[in-house]
Structure 1
Amino acid sequence: MSKLRAINIFFFYILLATSSFLWCTLSFFIVPFLSFRARYRFVNQNWCRFAVWLTSTMVGIKYEVKGLENIPDTPCVILSKHQSTWETFFLSALFEPLSQVLKRELLYVPFFGWAMAMLKPIAIDRSNPKAALKQLAKQGHERLELGCWVLVFPEGTRMPTGQIGKFSRGGASLAVNANLPVLPIAHDAGKYWPKEGWGKKPGTIQVIIGAPMHAEGTGPRAIAELNDRAFAWVSQAQRDIGCLKDEPSASPLEQAR
């Protein structure tokens, strides 16, 4: 990495962190007076759009999306590949309003966490996978009834580029029990914004949104079949964009079961 690029990335992080602090501080005092949908747009969607723009402008990470026509008119459960931080920004800007599964500890961060808590996230304790699944089932169903998209990273954690973790059935179970489809999403963001380190590589992220997948029936067997189908689609899409080479790896959440 050149010295100039390292300096550029350093200032990118400074601007990203500063904007986050200022925006979340401002939001903390404004959002109590807004409706939930307006609150989401003000706190999350607008800032995430800025973050995606800043990433493109300062570090040269752009993106292309295929399959926007596959997004259904009404909210459902999103099952997305997880490789970096970028897709969290992008998906939060694209889907509105969106409730995502996140680590409970993030809500304790001053101002940032307090602002996030007002957006009805599903804040789980990752050290207790069984309780986390029950919480996802209960709160996820409540969010869907409120008209929110529910974002689930079924691998349970960010995976290195070229790998895919086994899918937890929590997202598929939530969709089946709510009689809604899952929307599978694949991408190669990890090539340019890696899981480890602070370095960034310029390039164009490919995002592929698949057609909504409906369960064939109800109950555990239908959940397992839908989950396997979503996993197969995401795996193939990752291969198609040259971002999957290894055999599936179990995520920490899966290993804990």
Structure 2
Amino acid sequence: MPATVNAAMSILQAIRTFFFYLLLGTSSLLWCSLSFFIAPFLPFKARYRFINVYWCRCALWLTKVFLGITVEIKGAQNVPERPCVILSNHQSTWETFFLSAYFSPLSQVLKRELLYVPFFGWAMAMLRPIAIDRDNPKAALKHVAKKGDELLKDNVWVLIFPEGTRVPFGTVGKFSRGGTALAVNAELPVLPIAHNAGKFWPKTGWAKKAGTITVVIGAPMFAEGSGPRAIAELNDRVQAWNENTQREMGSLPPQAVAETPSAA
């Protein structure tokens, strides 16, 4: 493709990205402001739909129209009727929009500092998030266990990104056991999810790439027994499934196969 055409496409994409962020920021400010006057008078499930589902759908619509990013969902039939713990890899902001709109009502583990962000954080505080202090891992783990169990008993989905932070596309972080521990102690399954959002919405930078994000919802996974060993085993299974699924969609390089020694 000629360099002039590439340059023109880059400029066009930059303009689209600019308007995307402009409209996303404007809609966020307006929606959060409106939520302060309406959401407090709504029951939790209706409040969640009003604040999070509608706004996240708006964000996804803007993503589709201005950035050319769409989504293909595989395994929708695997979603159980009763809410449980969702464990997903984390590559971008996009999956936060998508999962918050797809599973309702949903609570997610997030940094406590986010609740202090004007407008956005104040609106998030009304959605029963599991806000943790990352500087105190032991206290954070106890808070996730206590608050998460309360939410699950109230039939609220609990979203946890076990990698702990966004990782670059093409890599995967070590899964922490907090999510599987919560599921095992609540005697509920884990719903594993894998995606390649980082391919089109990178972890860093403003640039986005048009294309179709693939989201794979796996079958619910149950622990075999209880206690620390069952938690660790379930966690290993979830991470192995996620990595294998990402390999199948081309997000991770093929796993190296050990050579079989030849007979002497």
TM over 0.5: yes
Alignment of 1:5-154 (within 5 A): 5-154=13-162
Aligned 8 A contact 1:162 1:246 in 2: no
- Counterparts of 2:114 and 2:77, CA distance in 1: 33
| TM superposition shift of 1:246 | 8.6
Q: Percent identity?
A: 71
- RMSD of aligned residue pairs (Cα, Å): 1.1
- 1:171 aligns with one of 179, 186, 198: 179
| TM superposition shift of 1:7 | 1.2
| TM superposition shift of 1:170 | 0.1
Give the equivalent residue in structure 1 for 2:258: none
| TM superposition shift of 1:83 | 0.3
| TM superposition shift of 1:153 | 0.1
- Counterparts of 2:18 and 2:11, CA distance in 1: 11
Give the equivalent residue in structure 1 for 2:261: none
2:164 matched to 1:156? yes
SS in 1 for 2:127: coil
- Counterparts of 1:204 and 1:172, CA distance in 2: 30
List gaps (5 residues or longer) in structure 1.
248-257
Aligned 8 A contact 1:184 1:209 in 2: yes
2:231 matched to 1:223? yes
| TM superposition shift of 1:154 | 0.2
Point out the more displaced range, 39-48 or 2-11.
2-11
SS in 1 for 2:220: coil
AA matched with 1:11: F
Report how many aligned residue pairs link the two structures: 247
- Counterparts of 2:140 and 2:206, CA distance in 1: 29
- Counterparts of 2:173 and 2:10, CA distance in 1: 33
- Counterparts of 2:155 and 2:24, CA distance in 1: 30
| TM superposition shift of 1:103 | 1.0
AA matched with 1:138: K
| TM superposition shift of 1:97 | 0.3
